[in-house]
């Protein structure tokens, strides 16, 4: 029976906590009751202390005057507005104004009602009434806040108990405002955590500050506070601690949490919320700064076409373009459902954006011509491509048709319709390619570059400037390693890695797209821009880190299984081949590759042959032609090695 009542009590408390706010008219009524009580008890108390008799009629006049004055003043100053537990200094000013206004109006009404009080009583009573009203109204709000916090403590076992890392202003603000923030409602702040060896007892905002020097110190804090995790004030701080405190938390099986900065919440529509630290947060680098003014000048008032718009890179380019004053955004993709999802997102988050979703295939000259003829884009970002290495080894003709012929269709249409700039998205797999996908992207680079050179030399009539951007793997893209590892960990493993020594370059999708926009702005035509990808990451280490971030142990909880290199896969990627070097640009993260020049006429002949044999699905003749035209293409772990 006791357990039943305890359960009902906790259920009632839970419902109380989940109330977002108390109805303002309930607050108004409570304030009115407090104000009326203060006036009546205050006047009676004052007259009793001064040994002055007061008649019943004067008591009624005090009550009536206080009632009317309180209603008028509280409505005028809106002291009942706002959520009590989120009370601010502005709210206190409203209470003060309402209390003083009420006292002045009340004693004015008493004078009009001819209450039998001396002038000194009016002055003394007014000061006393306004002071006591302020005190009692503030006390009421403090009482409500304390009751709310007490209820939260009663339910504390259901909330995650965390320490906030750091004692800087941002950390203190998060801790002190935790009970007032919706995004913190599932967490109890037990104190602050910092590095140091001070033995002094330090408290900030009534919360203890725990100092640690090593992981053993952190272990000792866990049972003392029944800790569930450590909360970082922002992603930048978490990134700085990736090799120290986050490692300690992984060893101690503590959750690592972060409060995302508001700018991370795209479009201003999402609600701020605490989330677990992801591997992407630890792999990211310092924020990449781009010249927004130059990009804005390039795009202002123009129609922009993005191919592959529903893919990982294309959709992020669309999101970033939405922040610039473009005339129209044309989103072109062959995937119906992802395009529908992109449409819903753009409609919801960027209500002022003028955009057109178009379903179509870059391999269809008629459909591409229709798009250019109807919307006349002035800037094109060409992100449409097949990108998965094993699939393209198995379907090489489709790689040529989409990545090479599709690029040619888009580039030729851009020239025909007078596009100002054409920016193609390429990959580091195009450098010394070891697979069909990489070679197909290198062929696309060669076509775009040779066409740009032909325009410059007057061999082809046109004014379009062609720019190519080349970068490595992006974090979190569709079908990439991180989402796959995350899914395998959630399923209990094993986590599959192809080879213990395989390494890759990584970049977040937003920073890659920012650099694409920057390169598109600075490009004069014919360049291949390469991006600073940072330090390469060993995939096996990445898998281990993701397992540990999930609070699990490698081999004990989750096994890492090595499956062998896939067809066309190599141990490492390069951004430049052996015969290429780079030149600097105004942006420290972007360089220009000095690459071999090709004659446009020769390139067209080779691509015509490749296109013809791909349409006939003559695989071996097609791959032979690819290797003849791109001699650095040497197949690895592939059935096409015999053709080298």
466 bridge partner residues: 422
Q: Are strands 421-427 and 537-538 parallel, antiparallel or unpaired?
A: unpaired
Q: Could you tell me if 523 and 424 are in contact, meaning their C-beta atoms sit under 8 angstroms apart?
A: no
The sign of the torsion formed by the CA atoms of 198, 199, 205, 207 equals positive
CA angle 172, 177, 181 (to 5 degrees): 135
Determine whether 561 is an active site residue: no
Residues 6 or more apart whose CB falls under 8 angstroms from that of 403 comprise: 385, 386, 437, 440, 441, 443, 444
Distance (Å) of CA 202 to CA 65, 194, 206, 495: 51, 11, 9, 44
Phi-psi category of residue 485: left, alpha or beta, with phi > 0 → left and psi -120 to 50 → alpha: alpha
* DSSP conformational letter for 200: S
What is the spatial distance between Cα 131 and Cα 644, in angstroms, rounded to a whole number?
93
What is the spatial distance between Cα 418 and Cα 463, in angstroms, rounded to a whole number?
6
Rg (CA), the chain: 34
Backbone angles phi, psi at 565, to 5 degrees: -60, 140
Residues 6 or more apart whose CB falls under 8 angstroms from that of 425 comprise: 308, 313, 381, 382, 383, 385, 469, 516
Can you tell me whether residue 256 is helix, strand or coil?
A: strand
63, 68, 71, 72 alpha-carbon torsion, rounded to 10°: -140
Tokens 């100092």 found at: 211
Q: Could you tell me if 534 and 512 are in contact, meaning their C-beta atoms sit under 8 angstroms apart?
A: no
- Closest by CA to 237, choosing from 161, 165, 285, 172, is 165
Tokens 């190599």 found at: 570
What is the spatial distance between Cα 437 and Cα 394, in angstroms, rounded to a whole number?
10
What is the spatial distance between Cα 109 and Cα 154, in angstroms, rounded to a whole number?
47
DSSP track, 58-82 = HHHHHHHHHHHHHHHHHHHHTTT-S
Candidate list 429, 441, 570, 634, residue with the active-site label: 429
Residues 6 or more apart whose CB falls under 8 angstroms from that of 500 comprise: 540, 562
Known catalytic residues are 429
């Amino acid at each position: 029976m006791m357990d039943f009542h305890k359960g009902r009590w906790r259920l009632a408390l839970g419902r109380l906590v989940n109330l977002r706010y108390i109805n303002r008219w309930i607050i108004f009524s409570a304030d009115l009751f407090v104000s009326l009580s203060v006036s009546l008890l205050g006047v009676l108390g004052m007259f009793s202390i001064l040994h002055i008799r007061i008649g019943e009629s004067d008591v009624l006049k005090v009550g009536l005057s206080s009632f009317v004055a309180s209603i008028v003043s509280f409505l005028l100053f809106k002291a009942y507005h706002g959520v009590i537990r989120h009370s601010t200094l502005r709210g206190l000013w409203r209470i003060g104004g309402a209390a003083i206004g009420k006292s002045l109006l009340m004693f004015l009404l008493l004078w009009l009602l001819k209450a039998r009080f001396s002038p000194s009583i009016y002055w003394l009573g007014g000061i006393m009434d306004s002071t006591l009203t302020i005190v009692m109204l503030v006390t009421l709000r403090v009482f409500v806040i304390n009751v709310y916090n007490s209820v939260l403590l009663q339910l504390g076992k259901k909330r995650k108990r965390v320490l906030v890392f750091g004692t800087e202003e941002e950390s203190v603000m998060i801790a002190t405002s935790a009970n007032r923030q919706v995004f913190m409602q599932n967490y109890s702040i037990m104190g602050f955590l910092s590095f140091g060896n001070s033995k002094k007892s330090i408290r900030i905002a009534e919360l203890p500050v725990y100092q640690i020097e090593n992981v053993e110190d952190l272990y000792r804090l866990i049972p003392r506070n029944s800790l569930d995790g450590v909360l970082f004030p922002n992603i930048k701080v978490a990134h700085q601690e990736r090799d120290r405190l986050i490692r300690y938390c992984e060893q101690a099986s503590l959750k690592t949490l972060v409060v995302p900065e508001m700018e991370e919440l795209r479009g201003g529509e999402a609600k701020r919320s605490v989330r677990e630290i992801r591997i992407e947060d630890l792999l990211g680098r310092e924020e990449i700064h781009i010249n927004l003014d130059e990009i804005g000048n390039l795009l202002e008032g123009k129609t922009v076409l993005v191919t592959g718009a529903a893919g990982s890179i294309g959709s992020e380019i669309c999101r970033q373009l939405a922040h610039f004053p473009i005339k129209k955004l044309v989103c072109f993709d062959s995937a119906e459902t992802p395009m529908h999802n992109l449409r819903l997102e753009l409609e919801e988050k960027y209500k002022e954006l003028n955009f057109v979703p178009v379903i179509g295939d870059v391999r269809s000259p008629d459909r591409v011509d229709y798009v250019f003829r109807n919307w006349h884009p002035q800037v094109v970002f060409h992100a449409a491509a097949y990108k998965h290495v094993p699939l393209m080894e198995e379907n090489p003709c489709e790689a040529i048709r989409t990545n090479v012929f599709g690029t040619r269709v888009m580039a030729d249409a851009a020239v025909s319709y007078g596009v100002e700039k054409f920016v193609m998205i390429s990959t580091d797999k195009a450098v010394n390619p070891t697979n069909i996908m990489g070679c197909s992207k290198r062929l696309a680079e060669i076509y775009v570059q040779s066409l740009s050179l032909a325009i410059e030399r007057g061999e082809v009539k046109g004014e379009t400037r062609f720019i190519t951007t080349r970068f490595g793997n992006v974090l979190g893209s569709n079908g990439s390693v991180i989402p796959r590892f995350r899914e395998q960990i959630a399923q209990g493993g094993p986590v599959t890695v192809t080879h213990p020594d395989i390494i890759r370059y990584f970049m977040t999708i937003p920073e890659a797209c920012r650099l694409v926009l920057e390169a598109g702005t600075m490009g004069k035509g014919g360049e291949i821009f390469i991006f600073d990808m940072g330090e390469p990451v060993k995939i096996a280490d990445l898998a281990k880190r993701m397992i540990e971030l999930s609070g699990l142990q490698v081999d004990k909880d989750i096994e890492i299984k090595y499956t062998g290199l896939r067809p066309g896969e190599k141990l490492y990627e390069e951004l430049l081949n052996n015969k290429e070097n780079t030149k600097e640009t105004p942006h420290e993260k972007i360089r220009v590759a000095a690459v071999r020049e090709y004659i446009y006429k020769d390139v067209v002949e080779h691509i015509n042959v490749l296109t013809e044999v791909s349409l006939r699905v003559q695989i071996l003749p097609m791959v032979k032609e690819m290797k003849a035209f791109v001699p650095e293409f040497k197949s690895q772990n592939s059935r096409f090695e015999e053709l080298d």
